[in-house]
Chain A
Amino acid sequence: MTPPFEMRGGHVRRDGRDVLRGVDLRVAAGDVVAVLGPNGAGKSTLIKALLGLLPLSGGSTAVYGVPPARFRDWGRVGYVPQRLPMGGGVPATVREVVASGRVARRSRWLPALTDRGADRAAVDRALAAVGLAGRDRDTAHLLSGGQQQRVLIARALAGEPDAFVLDEPTAGVDATSQLDLAGTLGGLVAGGRTVVLVAHELGPLAPLITRTVRLAGGRIVADDGEAA
């Protein structure tokens, strides 16, 4: 089976600094990978580079066997950013944000032909899965930090991807919300989905993780799942 993510000798330079220095990482389908490491180790850079959001200055990376620039099947990947983007401050409801996760599932050139019923149902399922059913008309930015994190996870869920990439889902989230998050992720993992997440410390997520990759100074210094 084609691995969801495979990086070979990945180098990333940002603002004249080497942030990733030769990373080899193959994430197999069904893996639940935690990328750990101190601040500035390159954790977020690594997952953004895996998705092609940051260009490599050396090495190669592939999403489901295809370089990100040529990859087309983005509906298979759900990306959960660290924070709900504010932009210029135009409000958006929870439903609007979550529904935007369906964009990769739409016809690119004839967006009006998309099946609205299927979209709606997927958004409803995603909201229910994170415990936000009934909050869909609330303005997303007025919710608490933990709830905003759940909105972002629902956004990724709504796209019905096979692989999830989460950038520090536990940062700035209180203990109760972390437990809730562990419950949601547990559901995904039980469904056989691949998960790659960046974390400072795992907390209640620890039992779900099948593989821990430790980064320091832009290199992988420990990987307990390499042989598996």
Chain B
Amino acid sequence: MEMLQFEYMRIGLVMAVLIGLTAPAIGTFVVQRRLALLGDGIGHVALTGIGLGLLTGSSPILGALAVSVLGALAIELLRARSRSGADVALALLFYGGLAGGVVLTGRSGAGTASLQSYLFGSITSVTAADLYVIAGLAAAVLLVVALFGRELFLLSQDEELARAAGLPVRFLSALVAVTAAVTVVIAMRAIGLLLVSALMVVPVAAAQQFARSFRGTMLAAMAAGVLSAVAGLAGSYQYDLPPGPSIVLLALAVFAVAVAAGGPLRRRRTAAARARAAEPEVMKS
């Protein structure tokens, strides 16, 4: 493939695989907790971190990492504390993050093109050094999912059940939020902060249409995520399109196919389950 002769494309494809694996992995828990817009909120807040990084001449990735982790913890705190006023508080945080980021990026002298690349993604700007940071973060996300998967599964089923099992619910909730924040930072260069959340949610929504199990949903979502990210990036090179929107549109196409194919499948399964339920069963005591 001719595109592999460019270093930025090789870096980009490795990144696409990392994003495709990590975003749906943590996204499965995020969706099950009904926090589908969490990543979106973190993305808004992360822009302030990028602005700070550019303004102080340090790394925008590390700036985004610090601010989005803090933002994620703030969002989690607001969510857990208040039932009624949380969404307004969240909105304040999102708009503050976005507006602050645009102002800070402007002050730093970075042009609109640079801002655009953070908002909607740009693969060409990623250096090999960035890739090492991103690979380290991706490994951390997958490690969290592997080590705490069962605890996070119970937490995302129901917080009350998790508490009744003696799980540290606050710590685990914060862990989900922070891991989501790290994922936002992993994906932001390629996909852009405004679209970053899509890969946490859309592949999971697609996998939900036909998977039977939680684990199966997660694995299928990761496969769909890698497929959309790699194919979207390759397509954006081929047809000279921005990578982020191309990746997201492909993920949505996968979702549409899953919905079309999943409906009949689910109906058949429900019928089969009902048929089995009708068979007499004896309870053992």
B212 on interface, CB distance cutoff 8 Å = yes
Query: B159-198, CB under 8 A of A: which get 1 and which 0?
Result: 0111111111000000000000000000000000000000
Minimum CB–CB distance from B8 to chain A (whole Å) comes to: 36
| B285 x A183 contact (CB < 8 A) | yes
CB contacts under 8 Å to A, within B144-172, are 146-148, 150-151, 153-154, 156-158, 160-168
Q: With a 10 A CB-CB cut-off, give which of A77, A91, A142 has the most chain B CB atoms.
A: A91
CA distance A176 to B285 in the complex (A): 15
| B217 x A91 contact (CB < 8 A) | yes
- A79: chain B residues at CB < 8 Å are 161, 164-165
Q: A77-B164, A142-B270 are in contact. Are A88 and B150 (CB under 8 A)?
A: no
| B28 x A139 contact (CB < 8 A) | no
| A147 x B277 contact (CB < 8 A) | yes
Query: A65-78, CB under 8 A of B: which get 1 and which 0?
Result: 00000011111010
CB contacts under 8 Å to B, within A158-193, are 159, 180-181, 183-184, 186-187, 190
CA distance A181 to B163 in the complex (A): 25
A118 on interface, CB distance cutoff 8 Å = no
- B163: chain A residues at CB < 8 Å are 52-53
Measuring CB to CB, which residues of chain A are less than 8 angstroms from any residue of chain B?
A: 48, 51-53, 71-75, 77, 79, 81, 85, 87-93, 96-97, 99-101, 103-104, 106, 108, 111-112, 128-131, 135, 137-139, 142-144, 147, 159, 180-181, 183-184, 186-187, 190
Measuring CB to CB, which residues of chain B are less than 8 angstroms from any residue of chain A?
A: 28, 31-34, 36, 146-148, 150-151, 153-154, 156-158, 160-168, 204, 208, 211-217, 269-270, 273-274, 276-277, 281-285
